[in-house]
Chains A and B, each alone.
Chain A
């Protein structure tokens, strides 16, 4: 079997979460050291340094460092974004001004239709004028978006070339994603530019701190889809690094179990439990993109359900029934908090050893009196409710995935139904809940070793992922790959096979350029080909294809 490990291959994975920063060191395919530290929320760089220093690392042998961070996420969610200019050109449909967030968003004339044909020229004078105004407000970053730019980036490129000299940070919509969705393109491009300054400063400081520790290898950054991007890509596409935390845990579950079947992954944390789904060992992706800061984006992410039923959730009695969550009440009583939590219930029945069991008992005693039950019975009831809440949510989640619309007769008749055959549980309380979850769900439940730092393992081992969109319109004689900024003339007899071959070649070049040692597997995740008929004559083909590196992990040698 292919063995990807060499002499020098020591790898570090670091996940900077809201509460904890976790890190692992993997040597020659084996986990040799792990660490869990509290995150210094005001100084993420020092959190990283602390974690790495806590590991048993031979710095000279470190070949790979992967970082998953909440930096971009937090700056969006906490609304700490600097003023950013947006230049948007629309066309018929919904008024684009519906999506404008502030006075730095501008609409300029120019329109492109669904096949990528320009039918209104770009008003270049307006673009220059908008540039001047933004400049006058000392704005340093701009986002450029036109409707249907993924069908023809002409106007975005033109605006960019007019304004690029004047602004330090720029993003163009068609480079964010090849997917259609104008409002999401606007928000994605906006966030991308807006987080650039903070992301650039952060990556530079982390790079410096690592070098100070003697680690000179290029850093990789984890994305929401459970793949990594290079340091340079993270400079240009910082928005891709949002919401990588849950993805880290799910990739960790894959790495730690070597799962190849259909399984539900539960990452039970303090504030939330995140659920993901593996099909054939590969995590499912969201079809349109992740939501952040109340906005929908085109950022590709794993299919996730985030549930306010977790270790530190509020536990109360409502009309005689135990209710859990969705709010967090701070640390569990056994760890110094005041109010009862599911963790306290685990403590009472002896499934959680940290902290003071007596404090947990005391926290549950009010409920015990009210229900006229022993504290142990109340604790068991809380745990049972906890497991059932998770199961109900999982059933809803899976049903929802299975009732997604499909668009062909074939997919209606032969649906790909997701039916999990097992559960993988990671995160803090995972160990104590295994057999209870197995009983509740009625399917086998695995808790892998190192489950408490699955996120850092996932980050460490995640492969680089790329997705490209290819559109061939043989009637117009054009092939387009928006994400790679490729526009080519093609002959009239260009076929779906030609499109695929073209895309594979471009990906190969990219993998080469990224210095990826083992060539990852590439899937055709979407393929459609339509005869275009005008009058009663076939005039060409409209071919649409998406190629994607299969999200996955480097193997651990002991799996």
Chain B
């Protein structure tokens, strides 16, 4: 047996880290997955390589986040290593050591937004985004990146971070926000004025199973990727769509996950959620690894699988087909929509209320972005949290035009008022500064 695609595996189960002893994010989470991987002998297969995780530096984290008041207060070493594991996965792929890689790491990250006052949805920092920004800085030939988020929860953090970025396409498939945390991710959340259509949300009805789920990959995700032509595809491989997951209500199978990865053929997978630690994760992860490596996964199956009992009803499938068609139609109209909404505006403002469920913090944000035809557009975020911190964060994007760059630096130097500090991300300079007021 030999892998068709050489595949790297970064396995970091963090056997000494938990949110609390009975929390879904606890030490035991990847234990049975490791058992299954070891028993299958996956690491002995020619072309499958295990690599050691690493550490993400403070600088790596600052490329993505405004951590309030600072990086050290918002994270523990587990977060450095989880993000560092993703970075190592990317390094081995981009250096050509392997064709593909899977970062099986915890804790997860896709609910973490650009501003971080605390933990949301078990996430402190966004491990994919930290990896993506590390890639763009270190491998500048990688211009366009697509993130396909197949966690059952809407990746509202990743969406927030890439909302204004026309070079990162973020597609999320998730259980409908009307029925599940975090309650967002509807088709009309479609990207900011400079990146309209670069956020694509597919809220799936509860009980969606293999047929419905894979139809979205085939009829929406793959055609959009074909048109976007990314240099790199990343799968946020949450595993909580599984029929046995205790905190969601979907009906996806291990075989379905494997098929998904075969169809999508991502360059890098990053584990996100997934809390059916005994009945799902061992089989789902085995399936994903085999599929990534291009090996036969047809014998990977949950012992208790009764495929007939979880098959979607026809009306659910019909709903999904209609939904997919609508989203695809909108995607093709993204440029018309942009001129319709934003053509005459110089700045665009959005107001957001954010709740940090894990830490019980509320935050309100006013975000102002410069509508720009020449670059992704500079933006600033005025953020006030119930912890008492109020800050201004300014983001000068990669490839910013002169006007946007000047505007950002002007905002940074002239800001005054009731802020704890002003934070600056200057992506092209790779400089991240804080001016305390």
| Residues in A lying within 8 Å of B, measured CB to CB | 90-95, 98, 111, 113-115, 119-120, 147-148, 179-184, 288, 296, 403-410, 412-413, 528, 530-533, 535-538, 542
Interfacial chain A residues near B300, Cβ < 8 Å: 92-94
Known: A180-B38, A184-B41. A533 touches B22 (CB 8 A): yes
Interfacial chain A residues near B123, Cβ < 8 Å: none
The stretch from B50-58, B382-390, B404-412 touching chain A is B50-58
Known: A92-B283, A408-B14, A412-B77. A533 touches B21 (CB 8 A): yes
Interfacial chain A residues near B303, Cβ < 8 Å: 91-92, 111, 113, 119-120
Answer whether residue B208 sits at the interface, using C-beta atoms and an 8 A cutoff: no
Interfacial chain A residues near B286, Cβ < 8 Å: 93
Q: Are A93 and B36 in contact (CB under 8 A)?
A: yes
Closest Cβ of chain A: how far from B415's Cβ, in Å? 37
Pick from B21, B40, B77: contact of A93, CB under 8 Å: B40
Closest Cβ of chain B: how far from A48's Cβ, in Å? 36
Q: Give Cα A2–Cα B78 distance, bound, in whole angstroms.
A: 47
Q: Give Cα A245–Cα B36 distance, bound, in whole angstroms.
A: 34
Interfacial chain A residues near B50, Cβ < 8 Å: 405
Interfacial chain B residues near A528, Cβ < 8 Å: 15
Known: A92-B303, A296-B44. A98 touches B21 (CB 8 A): no
Interfacial chain B residues near A410, Cβ < 8 Å: 16
Q: In chain A, what residue has the closest Cβ to B30?
A: A407
Q: Give Cα A18–Cα B22 distance, bound, in whole angstroms.
A: 58
Q: Are B22 and A537 in contact (CB under 8 A)?
A: yes
Could you tell me which residues of chain B, from 210 to 253, have a CB within 8 Å of some CB in chain A? 246
| Residues in B lying within 8 Å of A, measured CB to CB | 1, 10-17, 21-22, 26-28, 31-32, 34-36, 38-41, 44, 50-53, 55, 77-78, 81, 246, 278, 282-283, 286, 290, 295-296, 298-304
Interfacial chain A residues near B14, Cβ < 8 Å: 407-409
Known: A407-B12, A407-B13. A95 touches B299 (CB 8 A): yes
Q: Are B282 and A114 in contact (CB under 8 A)?
A: yes
- Listed A/B pairs (6) with beta-carbon separation below 8 Å: A93-B286, A94-B290, A94-B295, A114-B278, A119-B304, A183-B40
Known: A114-B282, A115-B278, A406-B52. A147 touches B39 (CB 8 A): yes
Q: Are B32 and A114 in contact (CB under 8 A)?
A: yes
Besides A114-B39, A115-B32, 6 more A-B contacts (Cβ < 8 Å) are A93-B40, A94-B40, A95-B299, A184-B44, A288-B44, A296-B41
Closest Cβ of chain A: how far from B75's Cβ, in Å? 12
Q: In chain B, what residue has the closest Cβ to A537?
A: B22
Q: Give Cα A329–Cα B320 distance, bound, in whole angstroms.
A: 70
Interfacial chain A residues near B304, Cβ < 8 Å: 119
Interfacial chain B residues near A181, Cβ < 8 Å: 38-39, 41, 44
Q: Are A94 and B299 in contact (CB under 8 A)?
A: yes
Q: Give Cα A98–Cα B44 distance, bound, in whole angstroms.
A: 13
Closest Cβ of chain A: how far from B195's Cβ, in Å? 36
Q: In chain B, what residue has the closest Cβ to A94?
A: B40
Q: Are A405 and B52 in contact (CB under 8 A)?
A: yes
Q: Are A114 and B44 in contact (CB under 8 A)?
A: no
Q: Are B13 and A92 in contact (CB under 8 A)?
A: no
Q: Are B12 and A183 in contact (CB under 8 A)?
A: no
Closest Cβ of chain A: how far from B396's Cβ, in Å? 33
Closest Cβ of chain B: how far from A100's Cβ, in Å? 12
Closest Cβ of chain A: how far from B38's Cβ, in Å? 4
Q: In chain A, what residue has the closest Cβ to B10?
A: A405
Q: In chain B, what residue has the closest Cβ to A541?
A: B28
Q: Are A533 and B26 in contact (CB under 8 A)?
A: yes
Q: Are A412 and B53 in contact (CB under 8 A)?
A: yes
Interfacial chain B residues near A538, Cβ < 8 Å: 21-22
Closest Cβ of chain B: how far from A113's Cβ, in Å? 6
Interfacial chain B residues near A536, Cβ < 8 Å: 22
Q: Give Cα A517–Cα B77 distance, bound, in whole angstroms.
A: 47
Closest Cβ of chain B: how far from A260's Cβ, in Å? 28
Q: In chain A, what residue has the closest Cβ to B303?
A: A119
Known: A92-B302, A405-B51. A530 touches B296 (CB 8 A): no
Interfacial chain A residues near B13, Cβ < 8 Å: 407
Q: In chain A, what residue has the closest Cβ to B301?
A: A92
Q: Give Cα A115–Cα B282 distance, bound, in whole angstroms.
A: 11
Interfacial chain B residues near A183, Cβ < 8 Å: 40-41, 44
Known: A92-B283, A405-B50, A542-B28. A180 touches B22 (CB 8 A): no
Q: In chain A, what residue has the closest Cβ to B1?
A: A98
Q: Give Cα A288–Cα B44 distance, bound, in whole angstroms.
A: 10
Pick from B28, B41, B77: contact of A533, CB under 8 Å: B28
Closest Cβ of chain A: how far from B390's Cβ, in Å? 33
Q: In chain B, what residue has the closest Cβ to A295?
A: B44
Q: Give Cα A352–Cα B246 distance, bound, in whole angstroms.
A: 72
Q: Are A531 and B15 in contact (CB under 8 A)?
A: no
Q: Are A93 and B299 in contact (CB under 8 A)?
A: yes
Interfacial chain B residues near A288, Cβ < 8 Å: 44
Q: Are B15 and A407 in contact (CB under 8 A)?
A: yes
Q: Are B27 and A530 in contact (CB under 8 A)?
A: yes
Closest Cβ of chain A: how far from B392's Cβ, in Å? 34
Interfacial chain B residues near A119, Cβ < 8 Å: 303-304
Q: Give Cα A182–Cα B43 distance, bound, in whole angstroms.
A: 12
Closest Cβ of chain B: how far from A558's Cβ, in Å? 43
Q: Give Cα A247–Cα B153 distance, bound, in whole angstroms.
A: 53
Pick from A92, A180, A542: contact of B299, CB under 8 Å: A92
Q: Give Cα A344–Cα B101 distance, bound, in whole angstroms.
A: 48
Closest Cβ of chain B: how far from A189's Cβ, in Å? 14
Known: A92-B301, A404-B52, A533-B26. A413 touches B39 (CB 8 A): no
Q: Give Cα A405–Cα B12 distance, bound, in whole angstroms.
A: 8
Interfacial chain A residues near B290, Cβ < 8 Å: 94
Q: Give Cα A318–Cα B341 distance, bound, in whole angstroms.
A: 70
Known: A93-B36, A93-B299. A409 touches B78 (CB 8 A): yes
Q: Are A530 and B77 in contact (CB under 8 A)?
A: no
Interfacial chain B residues near A296, Cβ < 8 Å: 41, 44
Q: Give Cα A215–Cα B37 distance, bound, in whole angstroms.
A: 49
Q: Give Cα A389–Cα B254 distance, bound, in whole angstroms.
A: 48
Interfacial chain A residues near B301, Cβ < 8 Å: 92
A412, A413, A532 pick with most chain B CB within 10 angstroms:
A412
Known: A92-B300, A405-B50. A180 touches B35 (CB 8 A): yes
